[in-house]
């Protein structure tokens, strides 16, 4: 099964409004294909977060996506810049990686170094110029909406996303996804994205092949049904499933839900790192606390939240 690893970084002193929307929309796309694609999302990614995720999922990841500030030599993560040389060392350990999507400004400068460093067929989507925040969000959403369709190729999805972006009437934003952004510094207007790699290889890449029929998931039709279903999942210890459904129905604009999801993600990482032993008393205690937090959040939801 394909595995998509997504990392996003959004510093408060150069905040990208549409990066949060990119995180949310790509999560929704992948969440709707849970029976066909596995994925992991790192929000507010640090160098340690990137190292941990690439170490844990090193032999599973098919697509790596980065969204945030960047330039030709660095990804600007939450704690410090990730240099291209260190980044390549992480990529070299990912044996099944086929696609890298660097959705920041002027990332084309990394391409040749990545190709030389990995030394095998791989496709890289990168930018030749600065890109403003809204254009980057629009292109990423369109690309993944197309590429997650059955039998769609990388080339086909890229062309569809490019067509949509070219036709869109998008007002340029003040902030771009460059490491240094100044008021009034406008991104260049030409189409900045390109696909790099062996042409025959990139044209053939598909994420989902036809033939796998996923079961239809019946979503709760009312707030009462929604609350009842999630509370049942929590009682059964199905916190991952409960949070996925909560995000699908409520979205990431709810700060309490986002905080709970972050706490659950940190708990799972503690188990992966060996800081907490799975099934131990301390692990169960934290999981109970998180379950109680979800229940408390559910009790506070009203019809306005449901809409």
| Sign of the torsion formed by the C-alpha atoms of 40, 41, 47 and 49 | negative
Give a yes or no: residue 213 inside a domain. Answer: no
CB 124 within 8 A of CB 114: yes
User: Whats the size of the chain, residue-wise?
Assistant: 307
Distance CA 25, CA 31 (A): 10
Shared domain check, 227 and 195: no
- Of residues 163 and 124, which shows the higher confidence score? 124
Residue 180 has pLDDT above 70, yes or no: no
Residue 287 has pLDDT above 70, yes or no: yes
- Domain span at residue 247? 223-306
% the chain with pLDDT above 90:
49
Count CB atoms within 10 A of the CB of residue 219: 11
Shared domain check, 78 and 7: yes
How many folded domains does the chain comprise? 2
Shared domain check, 190 and 135: yes
Q: How many CA atoms lie within 13 A of 218 on its CB side?
A: 4
Distance CA 149, CA 214 (A): 13
| Token pair for 276 | 């907490």
Q: pLDDT tens, 111-153?
A: 999 999 998 899 999 999 888 888 899 999 999 999 999 999 9
Shared domain check, 156 and 279: no
Shared domain check, 258 and 143: no
Shared domain check, 119 and 262: no
Give a yes or no: residue 215 inside a domain. Answer: no
Give a yes or no: residue 115 inside a domain. Answer: yes
Shared domain check, 20 and 154: yes
CB 165 within 8 A of CB 191: yes
Given this model, what pLDDT does residue 115 score?
92
Distance CA 184, CA 174 (A): 6
Shared domain check, 245 and 125: no
CATH number at residue 80: 3.40.50.1460
Range with the poorest average pLDDT among 5-9, 32-36, 178-182, 217-221 = 178-182
% the chain with pLDDT above 70:
88
Q: pTM of the prediction?
A: 0.70
Residue 170 has pLDDT above 70, yes or no: no
Q: Last residue of a domain, which of 141, 169, 204?
A: 204
Shared domain check, 190 and 110: yes
Distance CA 127, CA 105 (A): 6
């Amino acid at each position: 099964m394909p595995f998509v690893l997504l990392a996003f970084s959004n510093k408060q002193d150069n905040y990208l409004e549409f990066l949060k929307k990119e995180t949310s929309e790509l999560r929704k796309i992948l969440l709707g294909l849970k029976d066909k694609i596995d994925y992991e999302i790192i929000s507010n990614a640090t160098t340690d977060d990137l190292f941990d995720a690439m170490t844990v999922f090193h032999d599973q990841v098919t697509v790596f996506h980065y969204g945030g500030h960047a330039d030709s030599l660095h990804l600007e993560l939450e704690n410090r810049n990730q240099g291209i040389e260190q980044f390549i060392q992480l990529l070299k350990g990912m044996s099944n990686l086929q696609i890298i999507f660097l959705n920041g400004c002027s990332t084309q400068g990394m391409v040749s170094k990545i190709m030389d460093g990995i030394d095998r067929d791989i496709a890289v989507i990168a930018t030749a110029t600065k890109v403003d925040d809204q254009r980057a969000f629009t292109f990423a959403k369109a690309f993944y909406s197309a590429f997650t369709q059955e039998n769609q190729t990388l080339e086909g999805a890229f062309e569809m996303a490019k067509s949509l972006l070219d036709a869109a009437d998008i007002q340029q934003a003040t902030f771009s996804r460059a490491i240094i952004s100044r008021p009034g510094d406008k991104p260049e207007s030409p189409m900045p994205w390109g696909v790099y790699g062996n042409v025959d290889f990139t044209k053939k890449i598909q994420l989902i092949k036809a033939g796998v029929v996923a079961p239809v998931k019946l979503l709760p039709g009312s707030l009462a049904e929604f609350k009842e279903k999630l509370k049942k999942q929590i009682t059964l210890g199905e916190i991952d499933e409960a949070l996925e459904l909560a995000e699908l129905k409520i979205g990431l604009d709810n700060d309490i839900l986002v905080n709970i999801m972050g706490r659950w993600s940190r708990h799972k990482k503690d188990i992966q790192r060996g800081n907490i032993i799975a099934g131990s008393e301390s692990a169960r205690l934290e999981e109970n606390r998180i379950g109680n937090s979800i229940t408390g959040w559910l009790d506070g939801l009203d019809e306005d939240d449901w809409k």
